[in-house]
Chain A
Amino acid sequence: MKRYSFSSIFTEAFRDNLGWEKAWTKRQPKKEYQIIIVGGGGHGLATAYYLAKNYNITDIAVIEKGWIGGGNTGRNTTIIRSNYLQESSIGIYEKSRFLYETLSQDLNYNVMFSPRGVLMLCQTEHELRAMKRTSHANRINGVDTKMVAPEKVKEIVPIINIDGPRFPVLGALWQPRGGTARHDAVAWGYARKCSDYGIDIIEQCEVIGVKKKREKIVGVETTKGNIKAKKVCFVAAGHSSVLADLAGFRLPIESVALQALVSEPIKPIIDCVVMANTVHGYLSQSDKGELVIGGGADGYNNYSQRGSFLHIEETVRALVETFPVISRLRQLRQWGGIVDMTGDRSPIISKTPVDGLYINCGWGTGGFKAIPGSGWATAEMIYNEQPGKLASPFSIDRFSEGRLIDESAAAAVAH
């Protein structure tokens, strides 16, 4: 693989840019692999990448139904933060945020990680108390966050209306090392590096069946033929239940559409991420100048990748109240993704009832921020055939054993 560097840009500039290679090679499936990862989004590619990088396994296929990064990896609002309440969540999300810091160098691909700061507003007394508790939990666990007063909020975000008519800002939880990254670049960067390691990336290949022998996985049946494998990992976000059905078990997951939108591009007006959880809306500005806006998920199960109109209305209403200056902006685009919600709004990284079959799902509305950490933990689990320290709190057993991970107080909008 040709490295991206100043000198390569310099030489290519004199050759009409004809020397660039394709970022990753499109492959047809081989007959057999050691490991198959089903799902070529951020989490799946990161899993394959860390298996190769940390454990030297490269006999891997990443199978994707559509195209790389075409699912939720390309449909989120790109927010990265780790200001969670519980130790287990802080562990994996902070690991992830930490990996994001050097991801561009690690992948030799500019993922445009921008630690611009994440501000979570407190707009009721209860929220203020909950956030104070979170800030203490963060401090104990070594996550750099602090509570800031309303005047400081106004200083960080001058366009905010801190004495709103319904919900005045009473304070905020500020994580200065949180921020955003270019979501497509994360998928593309991992795909390029995986391809470089010799991992096969197979696009336009849907899994339509699971091959088992005495409750042990032996391969998958796809639209491009049968592929054998010793280990298989499902990393399919909203469609995890569909895959689990093929493998003959059910997951404690419900799929819901979550949508986001961007405004027309304007000059820079906001240089951090603001999340207003009470009124349901979050806002940041992309490098192109569009305001990136996200809100709540639909109130009923669906796979429509559209989302219902009333949630856009609610989100925009809330944000116009918080940032009156944006009231005349027009919406440029809107899109939806299918998120996999668990009962406790925490992910599942776990073994399954089928031997040799692993699963990584349930990230709900907050999966993008977790991509590197989740890949790291899943790779560790697949290699050792049991979850490591990061992944073990997130096993499927936690539902039947009653050790749910209570993140409702620390969660953002819908999580």
Chain B
Amino acid sequence: MLNLFCPICQRDCDETELSCGGQAHLLRRDYASSDKDFYEYLYERKNDKGIIFERWRHVYGCGKWFHTARCTLTNQVFGSYSAKEVQPPKSILATIRRSRVDFKGWVK
């Protein structure tokens, strides 16, 4: 079972308390965007085998969203950060680099 840290409640919570919201840092589109942009926004996900950044909601807790860095192959979790961040904070990227030497950094 996954055990993630909720940065709002400041405590660890089990997978059963949480709900996954998919890929984080998606660029929202407005009415002026092209069909292709909307297609990307709606359907095209990174679906990486390796490190991903994703949204989680503490459903049976504070009810708030937060972001997590996780490896999809091993389910190793590298920490959580606020959903207000527009990109992963440097501290999280440093934590990932410490255990994954080939990590290339966050790509939009």
Interface residues of A (CB under 8 A from B): 239, 241-242, 245, 250-255, 299-304, 306, 308-310, 343, 399-400
Contact = CB atoms under 8 A, between A and B. Distances in A.
B1 A308 contact: yes
B91 interface: no
B49 interface: yes
Contacts, number: 65
A308 B44 contact: no
Q: Which residue, B16, B19, B75, has most C-beta atoms of chain A within 10 A?
A: B75
A301 B40 CA distance: 18
B43 A239 contact: no
B43 A343 contact: yes
6 contacts: A241-B47, A250-B46, A301-B22, A304-B74, A308-B1, A343-B42
A21 B73 CA distance: 38
A253 B47 CA distance: 7
Contacts of B100: none
Contacts of A242: 49
Interface string B14-31: 011001101000000000
Interface residues of B, number: 25
Nearest to A252: B43
A88 B2 CA distance: 38
Interface string B69-101: 000111100000000000000000000000000
Interface string B44-76: 111111001010000000000000000011110
A261 B107 CA distance: 37
B44 A250 contact: yes
Contacts of A255: 47, 49, 72
Interface of B: 1-2, 15-16, 19-20, 22, 35-36, 39-40, 42-49, 52, 54, 72-75
Contact of B39 (A245, A302, A309, A399): A399
B44 A251 contact: yes
Contacts of A299: 15, 19-20
A300 B20 contact: yes
Contact of A400 (B20, B39, B54, B74): B39
Contacts of B74: 304
A222 B43 CA distance: 29
Contacts of A303: 49, 72-73
Q: Which residue, A301, A306, A343, has most C-beta atoms of chain B within 10 A?
A: A301
B71 to A, nearest CB: 9
B44 A301 contact: no
Nearest to B73: A303
A406 B75 CA distance: 32
